[in-house]
Amino acid sequence: GDSVTQMEGPVTLSEEAFLTINCTYTATGYPSLFWYVQYPGEGLQLLLKATKADDKGSNKGFEATYRKETTSFHLEKGSVQVSDSAVYFCALQTGANNLFFGTGTRLTVIP
Amino acid sequence: NAGVTQTPKFQVLKTGQSMTLQCAQDMNHNSMYWYRQDPGMGLRLIYYSASEGTTDKGEVPNGYNVSRLNKREFSLRLESAAPSQTSVYFCASNRGTGPDTQYFGPGTRLTVL
């Protein structure tokens, strides 16, 4: 079945460090891929998405490229800030209503 | 700009008690969803409603019932709560057309003793 495997956390970085959170997927069709972010005490909100192979999603300095050949959608940011501390979820969607989430990666950025 | 609202924010139940979690959205979305979030397991879909008047089971529906009261509201009911239902519950909504962003509520933290 469809699934998402996400890098285990937690991840702790110093401010201005480079961030990579790995995400790979298994899907029978041609999924759309998402990164959602959950700030402390809040619900999830969309960070970025890509709907077809080779698309790059970007938002707030974060980027991820839909790689069909490696079935991956790794999240990157060149210089993290303390305000980026949150839990990040990779997700895939194969139909109108089927959204599958990874287990989440907690990021803590220290000044 | 209310978006998706959920009530209550926190709840403590005893085993066997019942309760209903309420969810409402003001974005005129067709589809609504209930998820549970447990440590180390991400979010899992309990039930969803693709459109007003329809509901379908998700990955973990056992022990829950839902009602799509109208286009705005989608409630989740626990008829006889069990400790295994201790979790954080999120409601979400979207237009329901293709790969569409889901918008999440702030969550309900439920503890069953």
In terms of Cβ atoms closer than 10 Å to its own Cβ (0-12, 13-18, 19+), residue B49 is: buried
Does A99 reach chain B within 8 Å, measured CB to CB?
yes
For the record, the structure tokens of B77 come out as 């009911």
- Residue B101 identity (one-letter amino acid): T
| Residue A8 backbone dihedrals phi, psi, to 5 degrees | -70, 150
End-to-end Cα distance, chain A = 41
- A31: which chain B residues are within 8 Å (Cβ-Cβ)? 99
Question: What does the alpha-carbon distance between residue A20 and residue A50 come to, in Å, rounded to a whole number?
Answer: 17
Would you call B17 helix, strand, or coil by DSSP? Answer: coil
| pLDDT tens, residue order, chain B (113 aa) | 679 999 999 999 999 999 999 999 999 999 999 999 998 888 999 999 998 889 999 999 999 999 998 999 999 999 999 999 999 999 999 988 777 889 999 999 999 99
Site from A97, A101, A105 to mutate, B interface, most B CB atoms within 10 angstroms: A97
Task: Indicate the average pLDDT of chain A.
Answer: 93
pLDDT of residue B1: 64
For the record, the structure tokens of B86 come out as 């201790």
Question: What does the alpha-carbon distance between residue B29 and residue B33 come to, in Å, rounded to a whole number?
Answer: 11
| Distance of alpha carbon B40 from the chain centroid | 19
Site from B4, B25, B41, B43 to mutate, A interface, most A CB atoms within 10 angstroms: B43
Question: What does the alpha-carbon distance between residue B31 and residue A31 come to, in Å, rounded to a whole number?
Answer: 19
Which among A16, A98, A70 has a CA at the least distance from the CA of B48? A98
- A41: which chain B residues are within 8 Å (Cβ-Cβ)? 106
For the record, the structure tokens of A90 come out as 């990779």
At residue A29 the predicted structure's pLDDT band, cuts being 50, 70 and 90, is confident
- Residue B29 identity (one-letter amino acid): H
Cβ separation A99–B102 shorter than 8 A? yes
